[in-house]
Every structure is written in C-alpha cells, then in structure tokens.
Amino acid sequence: MVNRAAAPEPPVVVVVYEDAAEAVVYRTPDRQGESETVKRRTAVVAAEPVELEAPQADRSSTARRIRTHARRYAVANRCDQLVTCTYRDGHPKPCVKCGADRPVYTCRTCRDRVRQDANRFARRVRSVFGPIPLEYFLESHASGEVHVHFVAPRAIAKRERETRVLAGLWSRGFVDATPDRVRGESARERCRRSARYASKYAAKAVEGGELDPSERAYSTAHGFQPVVTRGRTWTMQAGELSAQLLLGEVKPPAYRFDSGDDPEWRGPPMVFMSW
C-alpha cells in the first residue's frame, strides 16, 4: 500500500509596503496561489466610486480601502502636514445650480467646483515647490459648507511665510496650516494621524451614499504611490519573518493584528503589522 502525502496547505502571501512600513501576511483560499479576485486587486489603486444602491457591506469595504490607501500614501511620502482651505462669501461666484455664496456639500455642482479649485491649487503648489506628493479630501462643515483638507509634506508650511504663500495660491479664502505635533510621536505616526483625520470624511461620504456613482472620494498626486513587494511562503510565522526582513526592521511591530484573536473574523487567516 502506497502512503500518499497529505496535500499541502494553501500558500501564504506576504505583501510588504516598503516605504509605508506596513505588511500583510495571509493564507490564500486555494492551493495554486492567489485567487483571481486577489490578483486583480492592487494595493495602490485609488478608491473607486461606489454605486448609490450598492449594499452597505460594499460601501464599508470601499471606505476601509480609502482609509488604508490614504494612510499608506501619507507615510510613504512623509506627508504629516494638514493644510485646510476654506472659502469666503461670494468667491469665486455663487453656484449656478443652488445659488449658495459658498460651496455646499449637498450640491454636486458645488462639489465639482471645489474639486476643480483643489486641482488648480495643487498645480500651483507644484509650480512653486516642485514635484510634491499631495492628497486631498472634501469635508462638509457643520453648516453644510465645503472645505478641503490637503495632506502634504511639512516642507510646504514650515513657517508663517509658507502659509501666506499657500493662501495666495489658494486665493479662494482662508488657509490654515498650523503644525499639529504630539510630544514623543514618531514621524510615521504623525503621517498616519494626519491621513486618518482627513480620510475619515471621504470614508463617511462613501458609507453614507452621499456621492454620485461617477464621483471619486478623494484624489492623490500621480507618481508617488507606495512601493509594494509581494512574495509567498508556506507558514504564517515564516511570512511574518519574511516581511520583517524585507522591511529591514529589527524591532517588533508597533502594531500587530492577528485574525486568530478576533472571534468574529470570517476571512482567511491574516496578520497585519506596522512599524
């Protein structure tokens, strides 16, 4: 009688975001490697629009991807500065659709106009400071008016002089670039905190179905996407060690999530780590 070897377990995929200091290790759902669904999903794609009639689970998944991508983009490019741009009355002109003196979030025409202004501001910033990574998000104020949060490197607003330059480049109203520092906080954590603050409004808009199907929740500058390295191994422990070696980290991760510790986890085994 021939003893047949037990079929090997599905391989473990290691995904390392080198300049974002993050890694994901998970076991694939099949023995050939990553499923077709996983192969088609890239880590650097901008959050796609969500149909208004999409199930809440799909909206929540997209909102989670928005927060994840915004965080990795910010850390990879050392974007730890929050720049908030607001509007003054009657500028540039009252909305042709809703008639508001300042753009309001509930009006699609106003939102499109704010995005045009944000893109124009980003181009002007790059003309002054050179190629620079930026990501921006729209927020609805308590009054219903819209303002824009940019997450950018601190170099563009180190001193009051730079803030005045930014206000001139915006030319629509007030610009706030007041440094927000927490004592003892690392540079990476500053980037993550800035991205979390700004991206939560885009995620909230997606989850609440406040955007039209053709709208994107936020925007990033091209050419600054995080570097991704992918590999495979056969055990979760080996995957974690591989990720740490690829990142060149000698200390344990500052944050580690193991799906095995979550009784409500329904996906394949997964470990997330960040430094």
Name the residue type at position 157. A
% of the chain surpassing 90 pLDDT: 61
Task: Note the pTM of the prediction, 2 decimals.
Answer: 0.84
**pLDDT (0 to 100) of residue 30:** 64
Q: Is residue 175 part of a domain?
A: yes
CA angle 24, 27, 30 (to 5 degrees): 140
- Are both 187 and 133 inside the same structural domain? yes
Is 21 among the domain residues?
Answer: yes
CA geometry: angle 213, 218, 223, nearest 5 deg: 120
Q: What is the DSSP letter of 53?
A: T
**Residue 208 falls within a domain, yes or no?**
yes
| In contact, 104 and 110? CB cutoff 8 Å | yes
Q: How many CB atoms lie within 10 A of CB 9?
A: 11
Share of the chain above pLDDT 70, in %: 85
Percent helix, strand, coil in the chain, to 5, is 35, 20, 45
Same domain, 249 and 191: no
Note whether 108 and 241 are same-domain residues. Answer: no
Q: Are residues 100 and 172 in the same domain?
A: yes
Domain end point (choices 223, 247, 263): 223
Asked if the structure places residue 48 within a domain, the reply is no
Number of domains making up the chain: 2
pLDDT digits (tens, 9 = 90+) for 220-250: 998 999 999 999 998 999 999 999 999 999 8
Between the two ends of the chain, the Cα-to-Cα distance in Å is 52
Assess whether 81 and 155 both reside in one domain.
yes
Report yes or no on 205 lying in a domain.
yes
In whole angstroms, what is the distance from residue 111 CA to residue 103 CA?
7
Indicate whether 49 belongs to any domain. Answer: no
pLDDT-based confidence at residue 96 (cuts at 50, 70, 90): confident
- Residue 1 forms part of a structural domain: no
pLDDT digits (tens, 9 = 90+) for 143-160: 889 999 999 998 888 777
If asked whether residues 177 and 247 sit together in one domain, one would say no
Q: Contacts from 99-103 at CB under 8 Å and sequence distance 24+? A: 100/145, 102/145, 102/146, 103/145, 103/146
Please indicate, yes or no, whether residues 113 and 197 belong to a single structural domain of this protein: yes
Residue 235 per-residue DSSP state: S
Predicted pLDDT of residue 53: 53
- The parent domain of residue 234 ranges over 7-43+226-275
Is residue 199 domain-shared with residue 263, that is, in the same domain? no
What pLDDT band is residue 5 in, cutting at 50, 70 and 90? low
Q: Are residues 134 and 112 in the same domain?
A: yes
Give CA–CA dist 13/24, Å, rounded.
Answer: 8
268 belongs to a structural domain: yes
**What confidence tens digit (pLDDT) does each residue in 77-95 have?**
999 999 999 998 876 688 8
Burial class (CB in 10 A: 0-12, 13-18, 19+), 111: buried
Q: Are residues 158 and 237 in the same domain?
A: no
**In what helix (H) or strand (E) does residue 37 lie, and over which residues does it extend?**
helix 36-40
Same domain (yes/no): 92, 139: yes
**How far is it, in rounded angstroms, from Cα 217 to Cα 82?**
18
The reply to whether 71 and 194 lie within a common domain is yes
- Residue 126's pLDDT is 94
Contact between residue 22 and residue 244 where contact means Cβ atoms under 8 Å apart: no
For the beta sheet containing 146-152, the strands, ordered from the edge strand earlier in sequence to the opposite edge, are 175-176, 81-85, 146-152, 135-140, 218-220
Place of tokens 């037990």: 6
Listed residues 199, 223, 247: the one ending a domain: 223
Task: Specify the pLDDT at position 181.
Answer: 74
